[in-house]
Structure 1
């Protein structure tokens, strides 16, 4: 039960990654009064792009620093150019997707650059990764801003973990703008450091706020960790609490099966199965 972003403006990884769905489907399931489809579309695009950005940044770091480097089933495509600059204490990594468009594994077209910087001591238990975006577009939607990522080499469960704080602005093709602030944490529970992106599994927690140009605010909180498997296009489990302009409720992504169904429960306790 997976990613109904366009219907409910929900997230989604994390990333693969969350893919927008058809708004007309949503009106078949829920009344028009319960969903502002235009706002859902805007937040959905941000949700999707945020997950693509997380994937590109984290895998760019791991491709560079993993002890098990491999060109087999890497996440970064061949059309991306990686440039390294070393100082006495830091490593600067630029991932350049070009100006013509570069298709990534999730099927999105990416342009522009991600610029990362971190201390040379990558064996440290905790490492702060700073990054910013330069003329960066996902499917012709521009993302501007920066993030800090705190990478734990091993958390209390013995797994790599990434906590991402973000504050960025999004400009859509028609000039409409929105902003997002918040944080999320990805725990890498399977496939870590083996050089193969395809068998990776993450658990995602966090919350964030999206501010739209009309003054409306959309809030998202993950109440049960979302499970993202790189081998599946959809989220396979987890629950998200949604507070939107005209409705609120929860979205349940299921029991771990890789399918295109989720269950939305509104504030009155009414359930709807959503096909994604």
Structure 2
């Protein structure tokens, strides 16, 4: 049961697409500034990079065989069939906890991308290490992955913080449900500017009768906040659950709200559900935007 970029691809690209559309309206609506669009775009970018780490952790934990998940204290290297790990010099090491068993595996997987950089099929370049400390298999009730970084960079941006993903109550085989938190999130850009982030997100993967009918639902209790590279604060909340599918590059349902510097409100509404129309409201003024 590999999600294979579902979460990363759809949750970030939809918001970035909305930002592009909002930018095109700036001449008509001065209430949405260039700084606003830059701040929201940065939030979307860093969020997508942390989601990418989540997805790589899920893929990594799903790779070891039963024998590699048991056998007492030992370390071994594995090969992961994913283009993000497919570079000469990338080393993936599994270290088992002494109590690890086939039924309840426990241990640590370290992915070392090296210092030269590993480019994936989309041109994203990764360096440094990701450390995934896991308990149970990915889709077992109560399973968890705690992710830390060691000099980890993607496309020249250094990411730090502790990312914890837990399979929570109410999760089923047909609809796995996870609570994902980020503490101490920090993105350092090539010009040495820094954005900070913390988040608490609950999401479910609703599996359809075919992969094309799969849905990912981000619960409206989810929140994120932080500071931008320019020093402005932001807070993100949901007024309705965000629903994504595999056929649309942004949400097909839901409402997302930003508060910039504690006062400026920007709301993105996806409830048209037609995969081509969204509405953007800035401090009470709404525009409908169509994706061609």
Band the TM-score falls in, shorter-chain normalisation: 0.7 to 0.9
- 1:161, distance to aligned residue in structure 2 (A): 1.3
- 1:188, distance to aligned residue in structure 2 (A): 0.9
Structure 2 residue 54 is the aligned partner of structure 1 residue 57: yes
Task: Note the aligned Cα RMSD (angstroms).
Answer: 3.8
- 1:271, distance to aligned residue in structure 2 (A): 2.2
Q: Structure 2 matches for 1:1-276, cutoff 5 A? A: 14-17=7-10, 18-19=12-13, 20=16, 26-30=22-26, 33-38=30-35, 40-65=37-62, 76-79=84-87, 81-89=91-99, 90-104=106-120, 108-120=124-136, 124-152=140-168, 155=171, 159-167=175-183, 168-190=185-207, 201-205=215-219, 206-212=222-228, 215-230=231-246, 232-245=248-261, 247-259=264-276, 261-273=277-289, 275=291
- Change in CA separation of 1:274 and 1:249 when aligned onto 2, cut-off 3 Å: farther
- 1:264, distance to aligned residue in structure 2 (A): 0.4
Larger Rg: 2
Cα deviations by residue, 1:148-185 (Å, 9 ceiling, x for unpaired): 11123852795211211112111111111121112111
Separation of aligned partners in 2, 1:220 and 1:227 = 16
* 3-state SS in 2 of match to 1:225: strand
Between 1 and 2, higher relative CO (CA 8 Å, sep ≥ 6) is seen in: 1
Q: Which runs of 5+ in 2 are unaligned?
A: 1-5, 67-78, 100-105
TM-score, normalised by the number of residues in structure 2: 0.71
- 1:141, distance to aligned residue in structure 2 (A): 1.4
Q: Which runs of 5+ in 1 are unaligned?
A: 1-12
CA contact (8 A) 2:242 2:255 kept: yes
- Change in CA separation of 1:208 and 1:215 when aligned onto 2, cut-off 3 Å: same
TM-score, normalised by the number of residues in structure 1: 0.75
